[in-house]
Structure 1
């Protein structure tokens, strides 16, 4: 019996030694942290969308500047003045120039600020952080993009003016050079106040609203992170942004379209109230909405698809 007990004890000790010497299971691999997307990605999405929606943007500006009350009649005038459908793309180089400065900045800075204030947390961002990020990005982008904004508005509004007041810019860069030469470097800051106010409102509403609505839709469990969710969130964001930005948008267009030294913010506001009443604040709301809705939808759908393309290229799918 003693020998048998010794044998059993020896077997147990050997088994324990084998267990102790066996390799321990490898620790679970940490999830791979995604790199930030390229700074210019949002600008590329905005350029792609702006080319498609340019005719509606052109119609909106000409309604605001000329005082036309009906969108259809304004489109007809634009086509008649520009020689058919080609007239609907007047100032297209201005649109590209604007997106290459303003939108590249706003999307890049927005993502940078979001990462900074959220500090890598996996939780959904609260609304105030989204709005803060959007407003901050909008202020910086409005300053960077102001010269391009002036050129865009002038090119779009040119045909709506009397012949003696038309500027006839050939393209955005030539227009910028002429403006600086004829009116001085300070002309690039014309309308900076209302433009920055508008870009703060736009980005604090459009970018923040898109991210917030997307978070809420995904939280319901009925939506997946796909094009249906992106479309729905951007539709809501476009409506919010149009309404919030309308007053600043009208004043910005009227001040920037004035050449020479004419046109001040307070003068434009005072004149608008006297001649049109409070409804001037929503002048061109419908063409603004019909432009901003498809543009907002296209921007975010393009952006989400570009992000998927970057993920695929990096192997993060």
Structure 2
């Protein structure tokens, strides 16, 4: 949806359901998993670097006192930027593989998998193509997760006398809030990133000017619903499992 450009005045705007129907009609149910290999590659690069870097920085900030939200936000921004650099090649492949469904046949990339796509990307467009859209690919939700988690800890719900502790309920609610926050705040950069990565020659300025002229500022939030449907559960599972893994490692270390 993010890569679909509006056809002009009077043309229908592609909705979540219409895009879903198109994908199903073109490739069937398995078409919903197009780009899975690139998605796995992205998680194993972007998320690995982002979360690992953030945790190390948070430990360093916590040596003398509890770090402030501003400090955590700064650490999350740096970690997100480093993760964005590490995961950018996989992001380019993911955007191109998933957008093939809505492209005319002659404009499709037809990468069979992420590895094959990576080889073709470098061979056909040069190594510089690995950094395509890098400037818009530095978002991170780890800082907002810590903010929501610290805000919930110790809070007592009025009326039912429930106090939030460091448990599964708190981790789930904090990560869901972080996913919602990240989806909304990052949407403009995410849409621009997808459009730049999906093309071979468009610059950020060109994409922004053309999209604003033809679609208005609304295009910056195109695809918010499917982005949330992806990022919401992804963030919940990511941080819930991560918290359990941290507890297990601490127990082993002791």
Q: Structure 1: how far apart are the matches of 2:71 and 2:14?
A: 38
SS of 2:230 mapped into structure 1: helix
Q: How is 1:51-70 mapped onto 2 (pairs within 5 angstroms)?
A: 63-67=1-5, 69-70=14-15
TM-score, with length taken from structure 1: 0.73
Q: Structure 2: how far apart are the matches of 1:284 and 1:170?
A: 25
1:194-242 deviation per Cα after TM superposition (whole angstroms, max 9, x unaligned): 22xxx2xx31xx2111111111211325111111101111121111111
Task: Name the structure where helix makes up a greater proportion of residues.
Answer: 1
SS of 1:64 mapped into structure 2: coil
Is structure 2 residue 46 aligned with structure 1 residue 102? Answer: yes
Unaligned runs of 5+ in 2: 6-12, 157-162
Q: Hey, what does 2:147 align to over in structure 1?
A: 212
Q: Which has the larger radius of gyration?
A: 1
Is structure 2 residue 218 aligned with structure 1 residue 279? Answer: yes
Q: Structure 2: how far apart are the matches of 1:120 and 1:85?
A: 53
Q: Structure 2: how far apart are the matches of 1:304 and 1:118?
A: 17
Q: Structure 1: how far apart are the matches of 2:118 and 2:220?
A: 29
TM-score, with length taken from structure 2: 0.90
Q: How far 1:90 moved relative to its partner?
A: 0.5
Unaligned runs of 5+ in 1: 1-62
Q: How is 1:103-182 mapped onto 2 (pairs within 5 angstroms)?
A: 103-119=47-63, 121=65, 123=66, 125-182=67-124
Is structure 2 residue 212 aligned with structure 1 residue 263? Answer: no
Is structure 2 residue 26 aligned with structure 1 residue 78? Answer: no
Q: How far 1:115 moved relative to its partner?
A: 1.6
Q: Structure 2: how far apart are the matches of 1:270 and 1:90?
A: 30
Is structure 2 residue 187 aligned with structure 1 residue 246? Answer: yes
1:14-56 deviation per Cα after TM superposition (whole angstroms, max 9, x unaligned): xxxxxxxxxxxxxxxxxxxxxxxxxxxxxxxxxxxxxxxxxxx
SS of 2:2 mapped into structure 1: helix
Q: Structure 2: how far apart are the matches of 1:184 and 1:235?
A: 39
